[in-house]
Amino acid sequence: MDLPKMRWRQARLAVVATSALALMATAACSSSNKSGTASTPTSAATTSASTGASASAPAAGSSSGAAAAPVDTAKTVFVFNSTPQEQDLPELMAIDAMKTQGYDISIKQLDGSVLPFQALSSNQGQLTGASLPEGALAVQAGSTVKIITARNQNQVVWVADNKYKDCSKLSGQKVGIYSETGGYTILMKLYFDKACPGVKPTYVTIPDSPVRAQAVATGKIAGTALGLPDAIALQQSNPNGTFFVLPLSNEIPGVGDEYVYANSQTLKDHPTIAQAFVVEQLKAIRQLYGDDDAALADLVKKYLPDAKGTDVLKSMVKSKLWYANGGLSGPGLDATLKGFSLTATPDQLQDTSAVDAALQKVGKSDLTQY
C-alpha cells in the first residue's frame, strides 16, 4: 500500500461520505484508545538556525530590547494521521522547541484521514498535517480548519524502465497504479498531460507499492508512481537496474503539496501558538538544509527511531522538499485545487496570518523560492 504519510487517500468520494456532517468529538477521543498515542519527542533545545535568512532580518529568538511576550500555555495537540515519518521531521522539531519555551504542546496519533479533522473540529486537537484534498473535503463537510503553512512538496516519484524515459513511448505499455482515482494516479496523469499529452498506457491496478516496484524491476510493467521511500528502496535493491527516476515535484511544481492545518478556535483565541509553531517549523527546515550527514543521522535517531537509515531524509534535503518560507505565496494551492478538480478556493482554505508573522520574526530565506 502507498505510504500512509503521503496522505493521498485513494477514495476521495468515500472521505466526503464518511466526513459529511459527522464531525464527532467522541470519535476522535475514543480512537486515541484504539490506535494509541504516539510518543512525545524528548524535549531538547533545537539548534536555532535561520540559515539563508536575509541579513537585515533579526535572528530568530533575538531581542530588540522589548520584553518578550508571555507564552500562551493553552493545551495544544498536534494530531498525526499515522506514524510520523521523514516528511514530518520539521513538525517534530518545532514541537520539541516549543516545549523548551514553555508551551503545553504534545502529539497524538489518530489513524486515518478523517479522525484528525474531527479532532480539530471538536477542539480535541488544534493542529494537524494533511494533503490538500483531505483538508478541502473536510472543509466542504463542515470542518472549521485553515491552512497555516505548507508542510512539504509532494514526494511522488515516477519510476520506469530507462527505455521509457520518453513517456510518449508508453502507449500500449503496462503502467502500474494503486487505483484509477488515487492521488498518485492523478499526479502521474498530470505529469503525462504535461510531458507526453495523448499517451495511452494500459493501466494495471496493483494496490501494494513494493509489489509495483518489484514489477518495474522485473519488467512486468513499464513504470509506476511510487512514494519516495519505495523509489529509493527499489534503486538500492536493484543497483544494476536501469531505471528512469523522476520526482514529480520537479515536473508539476506545487501540485500535491501537503499542508499544516489549525482549527479556527486556535487561530482566534491563541494566535501566538500558531505563530510560534510556524516560526519553529521554518527554523527547523532551514536547519535541515544546513546540516551535514552526521547531524541528519542524529536527528533521525532522535525523532524517527524506526526509520531505516537516513537515505530518505538526505534525499528530501537534497531535493529541498520543504519550503523555507512557508510555501503559501507559491502556486501550489491553486494548482492542486485545479489538478484535483476541487471546488474550494485558496481564500476559503488558508489563513496566512501565522506565516506572515513568522516571516516578520525570522526573515525571508533564499534557500527556497517560497
Ordered DSSP codes for 35-66: H--PPPPPP-PPP---TTB-TTSPPTT---SS
The pTM is what?
0.82
Q: How confident is the model at residue 367 (pLDDT cuts 50, 70, 90)?
A: very high
Three-point CA angle 79, 83, 87, nearest 5°: 85
User: Is 278 within a domain?
Assistant: yes
User: Is 275 within a domain?
Assistant: yes
Whole-number Å distance between alpha carbons of 105 and 93:
12
Q: For position 172, which CATH number holds?
A: 3.40.190.10
Q: For residue 263, report the phi and psi dihedrals to the nearest 5 degrees.
A: -80, 160
pLDDT tens for 92-127 read 999 999 999 999 999 999 988 899 999 999 999 999
Task: Identify whether residues 170 and 307 lie together within a single domain.
Answer: no
More confident residue, 199 or 14: 199
Task: Identify whether residues 198 and 346 lie together within a single domain.
Answer: no
Task: Identify whether residues 285 and 196 lie together within a single domain.
Answer: no
Confidence check: pLDDT of 332 > 60: yes
User: Is 49 within a domain?
Assistant: no
Task: Identify whether residues 160 and 247 lie together within a single domain.
Answer: yes
pLDDT at res. 66: 53
Task: Identify whether residues 173 and 195 lie together within a single domain.
Answer: yes
Task: Identify whether residues 227 and 261 lie together within a single domain.
Answer: no
Q: 94: domain range?
A: 4-39+72-153+255-362
Task: Identify whether residues 199 and 339 lie together within a single domain.
Answer: no
pLDDT at res. 4: 41
Whole-number Å distance between alpha carbons of 238 and 214:
9
Confidence check: pLDDT of 23 > 80: no
Confidence check: pLDDT of 280 > 60: yes
Q: How many domains does the chain have?
A: 2
Q: What is the mean pLDDT of residues 315-339?
A: 95
Which of 251, 276, 305 represents a domain boundary (last residue)? 251
pLDDT tens for 160-186 read 999 999 999 999 999 999 999 999 999
Task: Identify whether residues 119 and 143 lie together within a single domain.
Answer: yes
Task: Identify whether residues 144 and 193 lie together within a single domain.
Answer: no
